[in-house]
Structures are given as structure tokens and as C-alpha cells.
Amino acid sequence: MATDKQQLIREMTEIFRECDGNVIGGDTALDGCSSLIMFEEPVFGVSSPDDGIYREFMKKEVIGPNFVQPGEWLPGAKSVISFFLPFTERVRSSNRGTPEETSPEWLHARIEGQDFLNAYTERLKEYFRSRGADACVPATDSRFAVRASVLPPWNRKVLHIASNWSERHAAYASGLGTFCLTRGLISEKGVAGRYGSIIVTEEIGADKRPYEGVYDYCIMCGACVKRCPAGAISLKHGKNQLKCKLWMDKTNRKYDPRYGCGKCQTGVPCEDRIPRVRSM
Ligand code: B12
Ligand code: SF4
Ligand code: SF4
């Protein structure tokens, strides 16, 4: 029997509501973060593992040959389900102020937020198995790896970082949104939030991508350039990974054991919406 996609989405949303960990409380809470809800409900997109775009991701100018295909993560894969968890207004607004200080709410949403996302995908895995399908979550799979290299080798200022499964690229393939100047992915709920994905052997039916170009949703307004405390973003060259990474390391020394920045994702026109949709 064909999968009822809308019913499936309702059930995956219900699992999100029931999943523990989206609220910060007790001893873990940093100053002012008691009862903080990190994420709003997910937005989903589905793509086919046979979509030629996954092969394109292996080109060196996109991700590179280390990108692992959906069917290699999970033999018999029929669907890639990608989702965006938008940060709540409380998380987003907390990080709009002071340019150099990452808000405690954002720090929680980066660290405990990813823990919650991992727990949610584990619940989704169990759910698909209960439906008789198999499932794999690349982000928590032991084969997941991030490779960093300096490109070209004679210029130590250009850092290329590529994981063997990129959440933003899977989301792009699944119709969830497009990239932007900062290399973040803007969804219909904006850029401030986190992406996750699960590969399943159930045939769900791919969503149409409502865009053509890789950067369609970015209006190139430059607001993120002014927000970046590390001077990592420019209208001419986009985002410099090395400068961003070094800033991130600095936040780790400051807020250890947490880290994060996200100034380029808050106080900008793409924070919680598509700033402009190009007419097609
Ligand atoms: C490594 C990493 C980092 C590194 C390097 C970033 C990088 N290389 O992308 C560092 C430490 C710098 C970093 C920083 C941050 N990160 Co980070 N990071 C990752 C991680 C683990 C892997 C990224 C990766 O593999 N990239 C692959 C490379 C190749 O991507 P890329 O160079 O950007 O890709 C370009 C090319 O493909 C190009 N392109 C050229 N031709 C073509 C053709 C086609 C068809 C396409 C599609 C593209 C394309 O377009 C892309 C954009 O320019 C992901 C999690 C994951 N597994 O996906 C999170 C992730 C990207 N990070 C995330 C976040 C939130 C952050 C921070 C805000 C930190 C924070 N929370 O405070 C900052 C800032 C990021 C930003 N400005 O967008 C989110 C992004 C959410 C979003 N809305 O987009 C992710 C997806 C984590 C998550 N689960 O949500 N991160
Ligand atoms: S702030 Fe403007 S230039 Fe920067 S990513 Fe958002 S829409 Fe693009
Ligand atoms: S996360 Fe911070 S340092 Fe990195 S690009 Fe965005 S604003 Fe700049």
C-alpha cells in the first residue's frame, strides 16, 4: 500500500512533540535559560536516493568524492527524509544583541539542541522499523566523518571542510531550501535552526524543489557581513571557513564545554523566513 505522506508527517510531528529534551531545565540551565524551549515543530522534505543530484554532490566543487550516497548508507534505500527544526523566538531574539557574546540560549540550542535532534532521529528510526522498514541516520552512524583540508595547498587561508553526509545538501535535494551568502541553508522558516535527516527503505515520494538555483532564497543584502564578529563573510567571497572555525574555537574556550556563534543567522532578514522568492 502506498504511503500516506501527510499522515506520515503528522506522526513524525507527534513524535517530535513527545520526544524528551527540547526543554532546558534543572541544573543544566545557564543563566536565564530555565524552561527554555529550543525548537519549533519541524518542516519536512523528501528526496529520492536515485535523484541525480546526489551524484553531483560528489564533484569537488560541491562537496567532494568523500560524500557517501544514500544507498551506501542504507542498502535498499528508497527515501531520504530531511527536516529543519527552527529555533524558537526566545532562542533567536536572545542572540540578536551584542556582537561578540553568544547568548546562553544559543549555546544551549547548539549543544543540547543537537542532543535533542539525535534523540529525535533515534525515535524516528524506531518508528520506521515498527512500520517494517529499515532506517539509517548518517549523523549518528559510526561511519560519519568530517574531513578538513587546506585548499589550495600553498594558501593556508582557505580551509575546505566536508563531511561524508551534509545535512544542508540533503535538505536542498529534498526541497527544503537554498543556500545563502553565509553557506547556511534558508528554509521557509528561515536560516536560524538545525537540520537533520534519516534514510529509509520505505517509498514515500519525493517533493518537488520549488527553486532552480543554489542561492535563490538569498537576497545578497549583506546584513550577515555586518553581523559577523570574525569578519568571515564578504559579499565578494562569501564565507571564509577558517575565520569562522577559529572564531568558533574561541567561543569554545570562552563558554567551555559549549560553543557556538550564529550572529550571521540572527538579526538578519533571512533569520526566520525566505527574504525573497524568485518568481519562476
Ligand atoms: C563542518 C561544519 C562546520 C564548519 C565548517 C562549515 C562548512 N564546511 O560547511 C564550521 C565549524 C566553520 C561550522 C560553523 C557553523 N555551523 Co556548521 N556544520 C558543519 C557540518 C558538521 C558539516 C558541513 C559540511 O560538510 N559542509 C560541506 C561543504 C562542502 O559545504 P559548503 O562548502 O558550505 O557547500 C557549498 C558548495 O556545495 C556550493 N556549491 C557549489 N556548487 C554547487 C552545486 C549544487 C547543486 C549545490 C547544492 C551546492 C553547490 O554551495 C554550498 C554553499 O556555498 C554540518 C553538519 C552536517 N553534517 O551537515 C554543520 C552545519 C552546516 N552547521 C550549522 C551551523 C548552525 C553552524 C554555525 C551557525 C554554528 C553555531 N551553531 O553557532 C556556524 C556557522 C555556519 C554558517 N554560517 O552557515 C548547521 C547549518 C544550519 C543552517 N541553517 O544552514 C549544520 C547543517 C548543522 C545542523 N545539523 O544543522 N560548521
Ligand atoms: S543576511 Fe542577506 S546576504 Fe546574508 S544570508 Fe541573509 S539574505 Fe543572504
Ligand atoms: S557563525 Fe559567527 S563567526 Fe561564523 S560566519 Fe557566522 S557570524 Fe561569522
- Domain contains 245: no
- Domain contains 92: yes
- What is the pLDDT at residue 26? 84
Q: What is the mean pLDDT of residues 108-120?
A: 98
pLDDT higher than 60, residue 158 = yes
Residues 76-103: tens digit of each pLDDT: 999 999 999 999 999 999 999 888 999 9
- Domain contains 27: yes
Judged by average pLDDT, the poorest of 21-30, 113-122, 158-167, 181-190 is 158-167
- Domain contains 93: yes
**In angstroms, what is the span from residue 183 Cα to ligand 2's centroid?**
10
Q: Which range marks the domain in which residue 59 is found? A: 5-217
**In angstroms, what is the span from residue 22 Cα to ligand 2's centroid?**
28
- Domain contains 170: yes
Ligand 2 near 38 CB (within 6 A): no
The band of 108, judged by pLDDT with boundaries at 50, 70 and 90, is very high
**In angstroms, what is the span from residue 123 Cα to ligand 2's centroid?**
34
Judged by average pLDDT, the poorest of 107-116, 119-128, 166-175, 238-247 is 238-247
- What is the pLDDT at residue 203? 97
Cα–Cα distance measured from residue 145 to residue 255, given in angstroms and rounded to the nearest whole number: 25
- What is the pLDDT at residue 149? 73
Q: Are 96 and 266 in contact (CB under 8 A)?
A: yes
**In angstroms, what is the span from residue 4 Cα to ligand 1's centroid?**
32
The band of 153, judged by pLDDT with boundaries at 50, 70 and 90, is low
Task: Provide the β-strand partners of residue 238.
Answer: 234
Q: Could you tell me which residue, 155 or 189, shows the higher pLDDT? A: 189
Q: What is the mean pLDDT of the chain?
A: 94
- φ, ψ of residue 109 to 5 degrees: the values are -65, -30
**In angstroms, what is the span from residue 261 Cα to ligand 1's centroid?**
14
Ligand 3 near 268 CB (within 6 A): no
- What is the pLDDT at residue 154? 53
Residues 167-211: tens digit of each pLDDT: 999 999 999 999 999 999 999 999 999 999 999 999 999 999 999
Ligand 3 near 242 CB (within 6 A): no
Smallest CA separation from ligand 3 atom 1, residue:
262
- φ, ψ of residue 36 to 5 degrees: the values are -70, 125
- Domain contains 252: no
Please name the residues in contact with 112: beta carbons below 8 A apart, sequence gap of 6 or more. Answer: 21, 24, 28, 38
Q: Could you tell me which residue, 173 or 152, shows the higher pLDDT? A: 173
The band of 280, judged by pLDDT with boundaries at 50, 70 and 90, is very low
The band of 66, judged by pLDDT with boundaries at 50, 70 and 90, is very high
Q: What is the dihedral of CA 119, 122, 124, 126, to 10 degrees?
A: -140
Ligand 1 near 168 CB (within 6 A): yes
Q: What is the mean pLDDT of residues 14-40?
A: 95
Smallest CA separation from ligand 3 atom 4, residue:
244
Number of domains the chain contains: 1
- Domain contains 243: no
- Domain contains 14: yes
pLDDT higher than 70, residue 151 = no
**Number of CB atoms found within 10 A of residue 136's CB:** 22
Residues 247-271: tens digit of each pLDDT: 999 999 999 999 999 999 999 999 9
